[in-house]
Amino acid sequence: MTQPSTPHRADRLRAPEFFLLAAELAVVLLLIRSYRLEQDLGLTRLLPVVFVGFIVHAWAPKRLRLPLFLAVSLTAFVIFLSPVQAVALVGLGLILIAICHLPIPFGARVAVLIVAGIGLAAIRAEWISIPWKTIPTIVLPVLGAMFMFRLIVYMYDLRHEKQPVSVWQRLSYFFLLPNICFLLFPVVDYSTFKRTYYSADETAIYQKGIRWMFRGVVHLLMYRLVYLYMVIPPHEVSGLPDVIRYTTSFWLLYMRVSGQFHIAIGILCLFGFNLPETNRLYYLTSSFTDLWRRANIYWKDFMQKVFYYPMFTRLKRYGTLSGVLLATVAIFVVTWLLHSYQWFWLRGEFPLRRVDLVFWGLIGAGVVFNVWREMSGTKRGRLSRPSFSLSRATTHALKALGMFIVMSILWSFWSSASVAELLDVLATAGRSPAGDFGLLGIALVAIVALGVVAQYLAGTSWPAAVPGRLSSRAPASFVTAALALLILAQPGVQGRVWGPVGAVAASFGYAGKNEADEERETLGYYEDLLDAGWQSRGAPDPKPADWVTLEETSAVRATDDLRGIEFVPGYEGSFKRKTLRTNRWGMRDREYEREKPPGTFRIAVLGGSYTMGSGVEGEETFENLVEDRLNRESGIAPYERVELMNFAMAGFSVLQSMRLLDLKVLDFDPDMILCVVHVNEDVMVSRALRASIVKGRDLGYPWLEDLVTRSGARDGMSTVKLQRELEPYVPEVMEGALRTIAESARRSGAIPVVLYVPLTNEDITRSVRRRNEVLGMARRAGAAVLSVEDAFAGFEGKDLVVATWDTHPNALAHSLIADRIVVELERERESIGIAGTVSALPETEDHPKEAR
Amino acid sequence: MSSQQETVEDSRERIEREVKAFLLGEFLQGEDPSLLGGETPLISSGVLDSVSVVRLVDHLELAYGVHIDAHEFSIDCLDTPALIAETVAGKLE
């Protein structure tokens, strides 16, 4: 029931009801854990705190509940941050709250807050250097998430506050438990926060919280399906079905935001904060105003309260209609600016992008138009459910479908790299046969019909005007669905249920990246900044400012051949906060003589940033570890010594390695060419080839020049078009590069070996197809093949990476790779061709190594 | 009760009746008047949106000659006909 009531109705909680609630909560939390939902944000770590906190809080005396909620929040802060960081967070927060209550005029307090905010912003942007390095990158994003908007709302309400408010309630408002996990957080209204605290039967509030958390789980699972199966890179779009998939997937990805919001507010309900819902059926909106009111209700309320109404009261002297329209325009300008403000606190940059302005401008224009119509006509509200009307239901279904299409296009425009890219993608629909358009027409008619039927069955037009009432009992559908999902989360069950259901359940549990994002992530690894449109909006990114790409350092210089860059010989500096030293030959490695010492088996190692050792010390690379172990332990009998020379360079694929081999590596007379590849090698090859075409580099191989000519790719094309033209030829390029490497190696008497190394975040069961493709190419090219794909078995990705924002392998991961390489070299030495070679002894006229 | 208090009470009831009539005429045409009680939630239930609130305030200011501050465009002051009447009556006292 939603009736207002006296707060703290602890006497209403009864043991049987409570145990039922605890069991339901346990099921929802187990679902989150089983499907590893938002694991990267730390949600799974928050679950025990939520569960234990709920149990203790629900039975605590009412006067202790707010202090207890704060204690639970602070416990979570210590778990997520270090104790020092947690103290810094709370200390800074308390200072900000104290400023709000200084015994000085209101305007002066606002001025002090602005000055304090500018100071913190300067630290966040690292314009001001402070001794505590984690303050700007870790503490301030969390502080920003808690205070950037709530402080505005708090000050607004403080000015008009008449009722006494306890210090615990004030502190609880800022230090909200789930905020430590979800930095992108709904803007909780202070008045609502106070007014709704235990504003209904507490069992019903708890029940609502659990149900919303479950709804959030469902949103996140649906998001995962969209993410895995619908998202498509723009260069792969090649017809009407792909265009539909490309555009709708962006809008559907918003389910992640609503999923997180539901879980966050659901958690707060567990502690008596009977807050309203954050999103309501936003994919079924029938107009821009409807969308604005339902997609992010808390944001709309925040804008309305702090900006819209105050602006209207100032502008209404120009007339009510003018005041309303001008205030509406103003809130969209403010929304645009505040999204950049939010981005700044969470990610450290203040992007004022035109695409954002256009996006919010278009939504704003739609809302202004609707508002003008509403102001000019009669607005129709509802007190009761209307009877079904075919014409009204059809109109509503058509409007909802139209809005979905418009929002899909708008959202894809917002998320695309450029307008040209989006137009290029949309233009591919023209290549589709007429039949595709016919099918689309039938599908649209079917969707409208489905919408009409749904409204008929519901007995009313959606959306319902009156939000659902609170109930202290869980609906059977919730319990059934939650239990079914929990059972399906068990890996043993997934293999036994009907194929498609098992596959969907397995996808629900896949917390990794989709192929498109693996591609983008790899570009990130290999020294390319992510395009802003592709970035995960709202995800915390504490990457420090000095975490630059290799090309931004003076360790490398440009070349005009396929490689693009090469190391400066004899360089010593820092890269990703580790020492970067190159030897006199321009390798990130120890010093070696050009002439191979007698009795030495020399392996030239080619590869990218994993092999180069991005983010680890030179002595920690698997290349050096393998060299040390071979020389210390088994060796490569009967050679006295083994040398591994690291020619790898961040960003290199087999394409650049091919050129490097021919230009430089063979001068060192290697006995083996060990070419390291990974699952995204094709992506790297494609990228390298595009860069060479755009920059007009000498391709250096007639077969490659011929292939580029055949593809039709040329400089001056848009990135997406260039990528699309080249894409069908990438496997051919890759195999050609591997073949060239193998042939060059054999011509010089070296054994060509291709080594497969897993990515730290690679799910090797999912990557098997792509791995086999890469290794199949290597075999056809005439190279021997080694694979250490299971090197990270038994370890979690987070334990293997150099930083939370950089998934290159850390020292542990390098040692695991090295261990497996030594084992594989020993096991596969015969198939590779090391054993029985005639040059087991130092090379002489009697034992020329070409005889191998 | 004193006669003064009764006058204030009468005034509130009158304003509430007038507010209900305005709401039914402007935003709830065709709805059953009996469904609109003094405690019927308007903003929190979605019956009134921001545009309706602005029009309501515009009407209240014109009809009763009062000024309603921006922070009063809220659930706390305008969520039900009774609250609206109380807010307006409070300003007339």
Is residue A524's pLDDT more than 50? no
Lowest-confidence pick of A469-483, A636-650, A807-821: A469-483
Record the tokens describing residue A582, joined without a space. 């190159």
Q: Which of A160, A293, A465 sits opposite B45 (nearest CB)?
A: A465
Rounded percentage of chain A residues whose pLDDT exceeds 90 = 58
Pick from A84-98, A233-247, A837-851: least confident? A837-851
Phi, psi at residue A753, to the nearest 5°?
Answer: -130, 135
Are the beta carbons of A600 and A642 closer than 8 angstroms?
yes
Task: Reply yes or no on whether the pLDDT at A363 is more than 50.
Answer: yes
CB pairs under 8 A between A and B: 82
Structure tokens at A5: 């009531």
- pLDDT for residue A766 is more than 80: no
CB A758 within 8 A of CB A797: no
Instruction: Decide if A451 contacts A281 (C-beta within 8 A).
Output: no
Q: How far apart are CA B31 and CA B15, in angstroms?
A: 20
AA identity, residue B88: V
Q: Find the DSSP H helices in A270-385.
A: 288-294, 297-303, 309-315, 320-347, 354-376
Task: Kindly report the nearest CA distance between residue B32 and chain A, in angstroms.
Answer: 8
Q: Is A470:A1 a contact under the CB 8 Å cutoff? A: yes
DSSP state of A563: T
- Selecting from B32, B54, B74 the residue whose C-beta is nearest the C-beta of A324 gives B54
User: What pLDDT is stored for residue A121 in this prediction?
Assistant: 94
Q: How far is B4 from chain A (nearest CA, A)?
A: 26
- Tell me whether residues B46 and A467 touch, CB distance under 8 A: yes
CA-based nearest residue to A245, from A225, A229, A224, A258: A229
Residues 6+ apart with CB under 8 A from A314: none
How do A565-567 and A751-756 pair as beta strands? unpaired
Give the pLDDT of residue A761: 82
Residue A304: its chain B contacts at CB < 8 A? 50, 73
Residues of B in contact with A313 (CB under 8 A): 69-70
Q: Which residues of A touch B49 (CB under 8 A)?
A: 289, 293, 379
Task: List all residues of chain A from 41 to 100 with a beta carbon under 8 Å from chain B.
Answer: none
Phi-psi region of A13 (alpha: psi -120 to 50; beta: other; left: phi over 0): beta
Share of chain A above pLDDT 70, in %: 87
Residue A581 backbone dihedrals phi, psi, to 5 degrees: -130, 135
Please identify which residue in the block is written with the tokens 């609250």: B83
Substitution target from A193, A302, A303, A309 for chain B, most B beta carbons within 10 A = A309
Q: Please give the pLDDT value at position A54.
A: 97
- The rounded distance, in Å, linking the Cα atoms of A454 and A452 is 5
Indicate if the pLDDT at residue A733 is higher than 80: yes
Q: Which residues in chain B have Cβ-Cβ distances shorter than 8 Å to A378?
A: 26, 29
**CA–CA–CA angle A773, A779, A781 (5° rounding):** 100
**List of residues 6+ apart from A290 with CB closer than 8 A:** A403
Q: Do B45 and A304 touch (CB under 8 A)?
A: no
> Which among A289, A375, A467 has the least Cβ separation from residue B45?
A467
On the question of a cis peptide bond just before residue A463, with omega within 30 degrees of 0, the verdict is yes
- The alpha carbon of residue A177 is apart from the nearest alpha carbon of chain B, in Å, by 26
Question: Which of A160, A316, A324 is facing B51, going by the closest CB pair?
Answer: A324
pLDDT of residue A514: 61
pLDDT tens for residues A660-716? Answer: 999 999 999 999 999 999 988 988 998 899 889 988 888 999 999 999 999 888 877
Alpha helices (runs of H) in A678-828, residue ranges in sequence order: 681-694, 702-711, 719-726, 730-747, 768-780, 811-827
How far is Cα A426 from Cα A665, in angstroms, rounded to an integer? 45
In chain A, whose CA is at the least distance from the CA of B43?
A466
Instruction: Return the percentage of chain B with pLDDT > 90, whole number.
Output: 66
Q: Is B35 on the interface with A (CB under 8 A)?
A: yes
Task: Specify the pLDDT at position A781.
Answer: 92
For chain A, say whether B45 makes contact (Cβ under 8 Å): yes
- pLDDT grade for A518, boundaries at 50, 70 and 90: low
List residues bridging with A600 in a β-sheet. A641
Best of B50, B56, B59, B80 to disrupt the A interface by mutation (most A CBs within 10 Å)? B50
Local structure of residue A381 (DSSP, 8 states): -
Q: Which residues of A touch B45 (CB under 8 A)?
A: 465-467
Q: Chain centroid to CA B91: how far?
A: 13
Gap from A305 CA to chain B (nearest CA, Å): 7
Q: Are A219 and A259 in contact (CB under 8 A)?
A: yes
Q: How far apart are CA B83 and CA A195, in angstroms?
A: 15
Q: Do A381 and B47 touch (CB under 8 A)?
A: yes
The residue among A14, A25, A143, A21 whose CA lies nearest residue A77 is A143
Amino acid in the structure at residue A258: S
Name the percent of chain B in helix, strand, coil, to the closest 5.
Answer: 65, 0, 35
DSSP state of A308: I
Place of tokens 């590596």: A665
Q: Give the pLDDT band of residue A300 (cuts 50, 70, 90).
A: very high
pLDDT reported for residue A338: 93
**By CA distance, what is B62's nearest residue in A?**
A320
Which residue do the tokens 């992510």 mark?
A530
Task: Give chain A positions within 8 Å (CB) of B36.
Answer: 383
pLDDT at A664: 94
**What backbone phi and psi angles, to 5 degrees, belong to A78?**
-70, -35
* Average of per-residue pLDDT across A552-565: 91
- pLDDT for residue A527 is more than 50: no
Give the model confidence (pLDDT) of A183-220 as tens digits.
999 999 999 999 999 999 999 999 999 999 999 999 99
Q: Which one of A156, A192, A308 has the shortest CB-CB distance to B50?
A: A308
pLDDT at position A847, please? 35
A324 shares contact with chain B (CB less than 8 Å):
yes
Q: Say which residues have a Cβ less than 8 Å from residue A7's Cβ, sequence separation at least 6.
A: A62, A197, A198, A199, A272
**A384 contacts in B (CB within 8 Å)?**
31-32, 35
A373 contacts chain B (CB < 8 A): no
Q: How confident is the model at residue A842 (pLDDT cuts 50, 70, 90)?
A: very low
pLDDT digits (tens, 9 = 90+) for A592-622: 999 999 989 999 999 999 999 999 999 999 9
| Angle (nearest 5°) at CA A143 between A137 and A146 | 140
pLDDT at residue A3, as a whole number: 39
3-class DSSP state for residue A185? coil
Instruction: Please check whether residue A344 is in contact with residue A183, taking contact to mean a CB–CB distance below 8 angstroms.
Output: no
Report helix, strand or coil for A763: coil
Chain B residues touching A324 at Cβ < 8 A: 51, 54
Does residue A30 surpass a pLDDT of 70? yes
pLDDT digits (tens, 9 = 90+) for A225-254: 898 888 888 888 889 999 999 999 989 999
Residue A287 gets the label, from left (phi > 0), alpha (psi -120 to 50) or beta, of beta
Q: Is B55 on the interface with A (CB under 8 A)?
A: yes
Contacts of B75 in chain A (CB under 8 A): 191-192, 195
User: Is B29's CB within 8 Å of A378's CB?
Assistant: yes
Would you list the DSSP string of A104-141? S-HHHHHHHHHHHHHHHHHHHTTSS--S-THIIIIIHH
Length of chain A: 852
Chain A residue numbers with beta carbons less than 8 Å from the beta carbon of B26 are 378-379
Please state the three-class secondary structure of A153-166 as a single string.
HHHHHHCCCCCCCC
- Rounded distance, CA A739 to CA A349, Å? 45
Averaged over A453-466, what is the pLDDT? 65
Q: Is A467 on the interface with B (CB under 8 A)?
A: yes
* pLDDT at residue A385 tops 70: yes
Q: Please tell me the predicted confidence (pLDDT) of residue A544.
A: 67
Rounded CA-CA distance A323/A316 in Å is 4
Tokens of A436: 């595709």
Distance separating alpha carbons of residues A23 and A36, to the nearest angstrom: 19
Q: Which of A157, A304, A465 sits opposite B50 (nearest CB)?
A: A304
Select the residue of A320, A465, A467 nearest B54 (Cβ to Cβ): A320
Nearest CA-CA partner of A201 in A453, A21, A450:
A21
**Is the bond preceding residue A178 a cis peptide, omega within 30 degrees?**
no
Instruction: Count Cβ atoms below 10 Å from residue A657 Cβ, excluding itself.
Output: 31
For A643, the enclosing helix (H) or strand (E) is strand A641-646
Quote the DSSP letter at residue A698: B
d(C-alpha A23, C-alpha A564), whole Å: 60
What element of type H or E holds A394? helix A390-415
Indicate yes or no: CB of A384 within 8 angstroms of CB of B32.
Answer: yes
Note whether A232 and A245 are within 8 A (CB): yes
Rounded to an integer, the average pLDDT of A69-73 is 97
Is residue A570 a contact partner of residue A582, using CB atoms and an 8 Å limit?
A: yes
Q: Does A308 touch chain B if contact means CB atoms closer than 8 Å? A: yes
Per-residue pLDDT, A14: 81
Alpha helices in A511-572 (DSSP H): 515-525
> Could you say which residues from 259 to 288 on chain A have a Cβ atom under 8 Å away from some Cβ of chain B?
276
| Strand A572-575 with A578-581, pairing | antiparallel
Mean pLDDT of chain A: 86
